[in-house]
């Protein structure tokens, strides 16, 4: 009999799942000083293993639900000897004396070469800096996801006479694995996974660790997979361990029988409720009755300007084009003028706050959910999104523009390249194949415009995922700054650039056409915006292009406008992308408040297949 070909594999970090049961009788009988020492040393150990540098692994602790254990410690480290050291270091803590190991599992992160593209990697036909290579490295050197719930189980492939996985031809096994993976991709954004190999390390062949914020999502995924032949015919499963992650500082609360993480406990919830009531009460005191769905978020701004009502009227007309808008009103009370805006989602409210904060005379803004969660109050000009801004600044240094589409829970990256479009597309297609293995990936596409550099757009469910993807995207060839953001005086006239051509060089340009030092002409100070994913009905594509030409003529005459281009997805001509560059956010906002923009949005209702998404960059 011919020997079957095993798939090539590459290993990364070694993994220990350490399951512990608490000796509750001993814990209850121990003097307070012993328990205090145990908690102190336990917290110190857990915090130290979780604070390891990212290139040295990761660790987390979980409260296990059910009878199998009370705690699960998960460690990822570069060497098996590191795991050996970690488990012995735990045994030296006073806390370990109150625990017994109920189970454990030793394995190593693993990537296998079942797909044709993966085999190219293992055969050395893929560059080390390619998207595929970076994807495989991310699989074998993963971070533990921040999702609240975890499910761990070991498994093996069957060797029954009728269903023997290891007797199947390679191509048949590869087909099973591809079909199995397709099911998992249907749960992108809901369930994250880490797959580890354990042949020779433990009693089973693989370990599967799933993470999700909704525990039902894990159940639904595994239920659907049970009907797939790779599971129903060829898989055997061990015990399942299900738990909830909590921070090391909550160990005392865990041992006291309190809810963990403690920010979900009663004390914190009561504090949040008081704050939420204050926000809701302020709306009531202003006479604003918001019939909003669960999860709605509100904004209350205070202004000392006289003309704020007229400005709000213009903004409200634009807000009403978005499905997530509930209301925006101006009210007067003893403290002056208040602007109230309510939205169905937090992300939509955050975006609206950016518009509203530019209103004249704003002194403070309070934002938060109407029911459940905490509200925040900040003085004018302050922002509670320092993390997002720091990411934007870092990406800006890589010539990558980042932002969050208006009212959406996704994050967008855009870069521009002078490379040959066909060569660039091949590189992006390779990256996209790797991105699609990530649950948080929404879309990556190449867009082209007449007379402009090619654009690459990548959309992700989370800011962290987008930040990680930017590292891959920044390695694409010939990445450049956006047109209108490089100090260029003019670009050749074309339909793709109707507004960036006729504007004469301004006073900040030198005689030779180079930009001077004024802030308005410095590329680093430019403000970018894009209307992305204008999905046009096929019958109205030409109408949309003509409308863009008309609006482009208006843009050319507006102060602070630099350049605007209409891009088309090279794989779908009805998927449009507009990139626009301005001297400042104030200049851009003038356009969004204009009648021309409002009329264009009204017109778009008939020609667009879906509502547009707007994202502000830089």
* Enzyme catalytic residues: 153
Find where tokens 């980042």 sit. 402
Count CB-CB contacts under 10 A for residue 421. 14
Distance CA 444, CA 414 (A): 10
Q: Which helix (H) or strand (E) holds 209?
A: strand 206-212
Q: Of 432, 434, 440, 433, which Cα lies nearest the Cα of 460?
A: 440
The string of DSSP codes covering 315-354 is HHHHHTTSTTEEEEEEEEETTEEEEEEEESSHHHHHHHHH
Q: Of 396, 397, 414, which Cα lies nearest the Cα of 405?
A: 414
Tell me the CB-side half-sphere exposure of residue 141, using CA atoms within 13 A: 13
∠ CA 394-397-399, rounded to 5°: 115
Count CB-CB contacts under 10 A for residue 243. 24
Letter string b/e over residues 4-16, b meaning 16 or more CB atoms within 10 A of that residue's CB = eeebeebebbbbb
Letter string b/e over residues 175-186, b meaning 16 or more CB atoms within 10 A of that residue's CB = ebeeebeebbee
Distances (CA, A) of 290 to 336, 342, 371: 21, 7, 12
3-state secondary structure of 242: strand
Distance CA 189, CA 465 (A): 11
Structure token digits, residue 390:
């720091």
**Which one-letter DSSP state was computed for residue 593?**
T
Q: How far is CA 78 from the centre of its chain?
A: 27
- The answer to whether the CB of 17 falls within 8 A of the CB of 72 is yes
Distance CA 340, CA 250 (A): 38
Q: Which helix (H) or strand (E) holds 108?
A: strand 99-112
Structure token digits, residue 451:
């007379």
∠ CA 488-493-494, rounded to 5°: 125
Distance CA 596, CA 548 (A): 12
Q: What are phi and psi of 541, to 5 degrees?
A: -60, -50
Distance CA 127, CA 317 (A): 52
Distance CA 296, CA 346 (A): 7
List, in sequence order, every residue forming a beta bridge with 362; answer none if it has no partner. 303
- The answer to whether the CB of 283 falls within 8 A of the CB of 345 is no
**Which one-letter DSSP state was computed for residue 509?**
B
């Amino acid at each position: 009999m011919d020997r079957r070909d095993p798939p090539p594999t590459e290993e990364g970090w070694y993994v220990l799942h350490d399951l512990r049961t608490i000796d509750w009788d001993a814990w209850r009988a121990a003097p307070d000083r012993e328990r205090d020492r145990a908690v102190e040393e336990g917290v110190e150990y857990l915090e130290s293993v979780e604070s390891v540098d990212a290139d040295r692994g990761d660790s987390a602790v979980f409260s296990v639900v059910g009878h199998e254990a009370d705690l699960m410690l998960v460690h990822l480290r570069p060497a098996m000897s590191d795991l050996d050291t970690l488990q012995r270091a735990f045994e030296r803590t006073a806390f370990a004396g109150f625990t017994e190991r109920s189970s454990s599992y030793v394995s190593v992160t693993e990537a296998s070469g079942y797909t044709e593209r993966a085999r190219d990697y293992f055969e050395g036909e893929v560059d080390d800096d390619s998207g595929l290579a970076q994807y495989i490295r991310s699989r074998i050197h993963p971070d533990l996801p921040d999702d609240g719930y975890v499910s761990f189980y070991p498994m093996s492939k069957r060797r029954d006479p009728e269903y023997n996985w290891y007797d199947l031809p390679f191509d048949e096994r590869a087909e099973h694995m591809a079909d199995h993976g397709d099911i998992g991709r249907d749960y992108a954004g809901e369930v994250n996974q880490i797959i580890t190999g354990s042949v020779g390390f433990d009693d089973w062949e693989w370990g599967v660790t799933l993470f999700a914020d909704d525990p039902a999502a894990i159940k639904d995924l595994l239920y659907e997979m049970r009907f797939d032949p790779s599971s129903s015919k060829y898989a055997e499963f061990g015990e399942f361990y299900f738990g909830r992650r909590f921070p090391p500082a909550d160990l005392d609360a865990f041992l006291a029988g309190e809810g963990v993480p403690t920010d979900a406990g009663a004390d914190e919830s009561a504090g949040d409720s008081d704050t939420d009531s204050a926000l809701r009460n302020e709306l009531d005191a202003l006479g604003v009755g918001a019939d909003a769905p669960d999860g709605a978020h509100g904004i209350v701004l205070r202004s000392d300007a006289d003309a704020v009502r007229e400005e709000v009227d213009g903004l409200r007309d634009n807000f009403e084009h978005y499905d997530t808008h509930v209301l925006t009103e101006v009210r007067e009370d003893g403290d002056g003028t208040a602007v109230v805006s309510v939205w169905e989602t937090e992300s939509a409210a955050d975006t609206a706050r950016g518009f509203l904060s530019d209103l004249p005379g704003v002194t403070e803004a309070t934002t938060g959910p109407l029911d459940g969660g905490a509200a925040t109050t900040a003085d004018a000009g302050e922002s509670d999104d320092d993390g997002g801004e720091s990411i934007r600044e870092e990406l800006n240094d890589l010539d990558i523009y980042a932002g969050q589409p208006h009212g959406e829970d996704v994050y967008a990256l855009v870069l521009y390249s002078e490379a040959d479009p066909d060569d660039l597309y091949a590189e992006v297609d390779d990256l996209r194949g790797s991105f699609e293995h990530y649950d948080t990936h929404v879309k990556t596409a190449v867009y082209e415009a007449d007379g402009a550099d090619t654009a690459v757009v990548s959309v992700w469910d989370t800011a962290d995922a987008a930040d990680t993807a930017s590292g891959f995207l920044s390695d694409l060839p010939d990445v450049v700054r956006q047109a209108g953001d490089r100090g260029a005086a003019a670009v050749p006239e074309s339909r793709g650039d109707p507004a960036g051509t006729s504007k004469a060089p301004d006073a900040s340009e030198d005689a030779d056409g180079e930009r001077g030092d004024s802030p308005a002409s410095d590329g680093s100070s430019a403000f970018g915006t894009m209307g992305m994913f204008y999905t046009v009905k096929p019958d109205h594509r030409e109408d949309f292009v003509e409308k863009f030409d008309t609006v482009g003529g208006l843009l050319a005459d507006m102060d602070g406008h630099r350049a605007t281009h209409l891009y088309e997805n090279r794989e779908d001509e009805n998927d449009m992308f507009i990139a626009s560059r301005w001297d400042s956010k104030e200049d851009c906002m003038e356009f969004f408040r204009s009648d021309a923009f409002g009329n264009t949005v009204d017109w778009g209702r008939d020609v667009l297949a879906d509502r547009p998404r707007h994202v502000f960059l830089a």
